[in-house]
Structure 1
Amino acid sequence: MQDVATRAGVSAKTVSRVFNDDPHVTEDTRERVQSAMRELKYVPNMLARTFREGKSAVIGIAVPDVADPFFAAVTKGIELAAREHDMAIVVTSLGDNPALEQSIIETTVRRQIGGLIIAPIAADQSYLARWQDSFPIVFIDRIPTKLHADYFVEDDFGGAFEATKHLIAHGHRRIAIVGDSTEVPTTKLRLEGYLAALADAGLKSEHELIALGSRDADAAAHVCKTLLALPDAPTAIFSSNARFSTGVFPALQALNRTDIALISFGDFPMADVLQPSVSVIDQNPRHVGRVAAERILARIAAPTKKFRRKNVIPVKLIERQSCQGAAVSPSQSSTTPRSSR
């Protein structure tokens, strides 16, 4: 910066003002400084700037799987919001082993980040308490445990209730749920919403139709085939997340079972153009990412300001073709469907 200042015949402070687009710099001075920057190929040292200003221009993001359609879209929302404020992001995957969460997060926070957005996988986030005075921490998708912090979560219970109720309204009585372990808080809430909708309609939950424990799309596809092989198979499936839906849908196609209704909790790429197009509970993940990033930025700008920590984001059903599969009464064969309308 001093070299640029010397060549342009100005002070280092003026160089800084030009780089930060200060409107009070004259056009002649701005042109001289910018010319010197180009000639010397000057770029600011962001690490030095971090030490000087006492804050980092980087937001850390930690999610279970960056390849998951939901978390990929959340990350994009964070990135767009951060970019508007001249901040960068650094992203890491936590995986599916809760025992590794703390070590992965602590590696991330040592990178001089200015804020952290995390979708936790472990049952205890108290280890983050010592970092809260250093930078803001915002949780997404899952509520923190043993730590008071901001969080933005979707209405998992309400979305699952609405999806199941919608299938019931289409005439379905044997509705299966495919999902992760109930150790995952979102899965637990979605299972509760599913069960509540059945009870509300006077339907008994069937243990054989609650297919939890899948780890990926392939496992969900296998579970789907197992469900449809039951003597009294389900006529509809509620997939509890978008990742599993990308396994369930191809499995239905492979079996040529377009008569089986499907609703996915979470939209995924191409879901609206598949045949049949897949009905979803829309979580609007980009919005989730944006509001989380905006809370980070707001806390950086006003560290002592009071904010509402608990934030539940509404979800909505997007009805497409897949939830209109034919309903079958318990007394009928699962391979001889009748219309539900």
Structure 2
Amino acid sequence: MATMQDVAALAGVSAKTVSRVFNDDPHVLPDTRLRVEDAMRSLNYVPNVLARTFRAGRSSSVGVAVPDVVDPFFASIVRAVESVCSAAGLTTLVTSIGDDPARERSVLEALLRTQLMGLVLAPVASSHAWLAPWMETTPIEFVDRAPVDLDADHFVEDDRDGSYLATRHLLDHGHTRVAFLADQTHPPSSRRRLGGYTEALTDAGVALDERLIAFDAGSDEGAGRELDRLSRLASPPTAVFSSNARVTMHAFGALKSSGAAFVGFGDFPMADRLTPAVTVIDQDPAHLGRLAATRALERFATPDARYEPATVVPVGLTVRHSCGCP
């Protein structure tokens, strides 16, 4: 992990100057401040912020709020945030929001009242304007899903391109009846993935059939019902794109029984050991978590620094057997 001396060497200044920048000393020359801040970002430097937390009357904790801490994707984000915070001598407070958008505000307000140094949030609500006053004192970093009605840092993966890749892969295998399987309509990530699916159909000259879009596959029973409904269509799908790892896991048994080719968005434990091994759009949730946690600590240490608010991480296709490839 980079030290203050590493930052000083890269910026061509003394360690004391780095400390002055960290402590927001107004007497640091603007050019020097920019050089030090650039060096911090280049080295992914996370300063020891404990002294600052005591002066500000804050707890030495960073909050993490995700829909479901058991979900492999969100669990990876939580673990990554914990690793960054632990290296900085900080604790992590973790909570599950659930899937009910109406519950999000009460859960987050309870967490924010603990005087966090920062919050890493994977939201479920449709508007986050109410968080604006909290952001004046607490860095809030969004992961996986961008904020709505709020200007804030967000770290997301390229949902649209990933869905396009998955759908196009199935179309290129000769499937013209490709279903879209999801569990919720409200998250922005679901809408972006639906957009990538429809764009791939359009580019391939395949007409969109809305009967092939299913949004109730959030449980074993729901996935079974949706796939049964799809199988009863006069022209049933021969391939399925599953919009997240949770849906893929719930639908796997029914998909295997159906004989349809399928690709899932997001890898999950044992996906490569199943029969058939699952072809996936491979995400890196740990990378998102590290980026968000590092930014939260950076913003706490240097609140006036400038950062690019949006970071879109590319994704790729990991080909296994479920798509029909040998």
| Same fold? TM cut 0.5 | yes
1:191 is displaced (CA, Å) by: 0.7
Indicate the residue corresponding to 1:31 in structure 2.
none
Larger mean CA deviation between 216-225 and 287-296 belongs to 216-225
Query: Mapping of 1:1-341 within 5 angstroms?
Result: 51-52=54-55, 54-253=57-256, 255=257, 257=258, 259-324=259-324
Contact persistence 2:217–2:250 (CA under 8 A)? no
The CA RMSD measured in Å over matched residues stands at 2.0
| Separation in 2, partners of 1:142, 1:149 | 11
Q: Matches of 1:48 and 1:153 in 2, distance apart?
A: 31
> Matches of 2:51 and 2:322 in 1, distance apart?
55
What are the superposed Cα offsets for residues 290-340 of structure 1, whole Å, 9 maximum, x if unpaired? 111111121122211100001111111111111117xxxxxxxxxxxxxxx
Helix, strand or coil at the partner of 1:322: coil
The residue type paired with residue 102 of structure 2 is A
* C-alpha distance after superposition, 1:108-148 (max 9, x if no partner): 11122110011111122111111112221101111111211
State, as a whole percentage, how many aligned pairs show the same letter.
46
**Counterparts of 1:162 and 1:244, CA distance in 2:** 18
Does structure 2 retain, via aligned residues, the 8 Å contact 1:217–1:245? no
Q: Are residues 172 and 137 of structure 1, via their aligned partners in 2, closer, same or farther at CA, if it must alter by over 3 Å?
A: same
Number of matched residues? 277
Q: 1:221 to 1:88 in 2, by over 3 A?
A: farther
Secondary structure of 2:323's partner?
Answer: helix
Tell me, in whole angstroms, the C-alpha distance in 2 between the residues paired with 1:150 and 1:265: 24
How far, CA to CA, are the matches of 2:272 and 2:224 in structure 1?
A: 20
- Structure 2: any 5+ residue segments left out of the alignment? 1-49
Cα deviation code 1:58-102 (max 9, x no counterpart): 110111111222111111111112111111111111112211211
Q: State the TM-score, normalized to the length of structure 1.
A: 0.77
Following the alignment from structure 1 to structure 2, what is the Cα–Cα distance between the partners of residues 167 and 114? 45
Instruction: Report the secondary structure of 2:99's partner residue.
Output: coil
Q: Determine helix, strand or coil for the equivalent of 1:131.
A: helix
Displacement over 4 Å in runs of 4+: 47-53
| Contact in 1 for aligned 2:180/2:243 (Cα 8 Å) | yes
TM superposition shift of 1:49: 9.7
Deviations 1:1-48 (A, max 9, x none): xxxxxxxxxxxxxxxxxxxxxxxxxxxxxxxxxxxxxxxxxxxxxx99
Structure 1 gaps of 5+ residues are 1-46, 326-340
| TM-score (structure 2 length as normaliser) | 0.80
Q: Secondary structure at the match of 1:269?
A: coil
